[in-house]
């Protein structure tokens, strides 16, 4: 490993500042094989050499103590290893070649990975500039590169998600739960089914495929259980917050009741349910055989089948 050029050392405020001055073409020999692998195709290394050369020349400044640093803040420089014959060939065969636009040096940005699609400069950094020489293009090779970072997330349709993601979903659902009168707490939030998923709100104009929003669609159907004496029945429910209408559907294997429509209201921390008498009678009749007390109540209520009866439950 060699460091071509002249090394100058200065001390300011007790800090040692080393600055190495060298020809641009020699500098590139210590950049290209580290910004790109020595074992990449030579033509790719040549493209890297042109970009690195153009970047370096754009950074030259007569009034600065130095022009570039040797890290990714500018371009990685680790000295010259003459065993890297492919990188040396790429630099030598493109000597003096730079990128230009409208007669001036172009600003040739590059990155180790682009996620499968290049990006426009104005979409990344603020400020104005003439960037018409940049285009959004697909890059299938980046995705195929085993060194590229690929992150995947699996969202199951049955609602099985990680607790961290569930907490994020709850934070978005919370305002709607409060609006609809639910007792909104993380313990009361459960995902049973995700029916659809879509991407929305593109970050930039087409053909960019950068999205800023993920929309999950899941129904509000819930499950419930009710116990009368020694008999417990289960089912599902739906609730319309605008009308306060509650629809209970019992499991047909337990009770052949179909749907029972009622009304639900929140009274402080309590839940109020208001049933039409005919539906309540149907429920009690189905359960009556399990309890003589229910049979007696059913007989008494049959003369009031046109009214509604309410219950209030506390947690």
pLDDT in tens, 104-139: 999 888 888 888 899 999 888 877 788 899 999 999
Name the least confident of 70-79, 162-171, 188-197, 302-311.
302-311
pLDDT at 73 over 90: yes
Mean pLDDT of 75-103: 96
51 phi and psi angles, rounded to 5 deg: -65, -45
pLDDT of 228: 57
Q: What is the 3-state secondary structure (H, E, C) of 190-232?
A: CCCCCCEEEEEEECCCCCCCCEEEEEEECCCCEEEEEEECCEE
- Residue ranges per domain, the chain? 6-110, 163-216, 222-313
Distance in angstroms (rounded) separating the CA atoms of residues 293 and 133: 85
Distance in angstroms (rounded) separating the CA atoms of residues 86 and 39: 7
pLDDT of 295: 57
Please tell me whether the overall predicted TM-score, pTM, comes out greater than 0.95 for this model.
no
Structure tokens at 296: 């007696």
Higher pLDDT, 263 or 53: 53
Are 270 and 310 within 8 A, CB to CB? Answer: no
Distance in angstroms (rounded) separating the CA atoms of residues 229 and 115: 61
Work out the angle between the directed axes of helices 42-58 and 85-93 (0-180°, nearest 10).
60
pLDDT of 43: 97
């Amino acid at each position: 490993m060699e460091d071509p050029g002249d090394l100058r050392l200065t001390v300011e405020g007790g800090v040692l500042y080393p600055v190495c001055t060298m020809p641009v073409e020699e500098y590139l020999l210590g950049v290209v094989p580290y910004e790109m692998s020595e074992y990449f195709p030579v033509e790719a290394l040549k493209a890297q050499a042109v970009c690195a050369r153009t970047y370096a020349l754009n950074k030259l400044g007569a009034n600065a103590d130095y022009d570039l640093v040797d890290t990714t803040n500018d371009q990685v420089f680790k000295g010259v290893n003459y065993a890297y014959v492919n990188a040396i060939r790429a630099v030598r065969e493109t000597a003096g070649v730079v990128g230009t636009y409208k007669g001036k040096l172009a600003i040739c940005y590059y990155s180790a990975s682009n996620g499968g699609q290049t990006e426009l400069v104005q979409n990344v950094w603020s400020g104005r500039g003439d960037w018409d020489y940049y285009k959004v293009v697909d890059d299938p090779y980046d995705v195929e590169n085993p060194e590229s970072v690929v992150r995947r997330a699996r969202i199951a349709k049955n609602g099985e998600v990680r607790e961290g993601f569930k907490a994020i979903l709850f934070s978005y659902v919370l305002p709607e739960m409060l609006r609809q009168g639910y007792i909104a707490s993380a313990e009361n939030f459960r995902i049973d089914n995700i029916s659809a998923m879509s991407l929305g709100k593109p970050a930039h104009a087409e053909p960019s495929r950068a999205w800023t929003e993920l929309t999950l669609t899941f129904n509000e159907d819930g499950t419930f259980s009710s116990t009368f004496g020694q008999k417990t029945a289960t089912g599902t429910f739906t609730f319309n917050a605008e009308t306060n209408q509650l629809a209970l559907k019992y499991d047909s294997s337990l009770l052949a009741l179909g749907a029972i429509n009622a009304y639900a209201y929140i009274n402080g921390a309590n839940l109020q349910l208001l049933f039409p008498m005919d539906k309540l009678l149907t429920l009690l009749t189905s359960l009556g055989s399990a309890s003589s007390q229910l049979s007696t109540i059913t007989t008494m209520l049959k003369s009031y089948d046109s009214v509604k009866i309410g219950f209030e439950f506390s947690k």
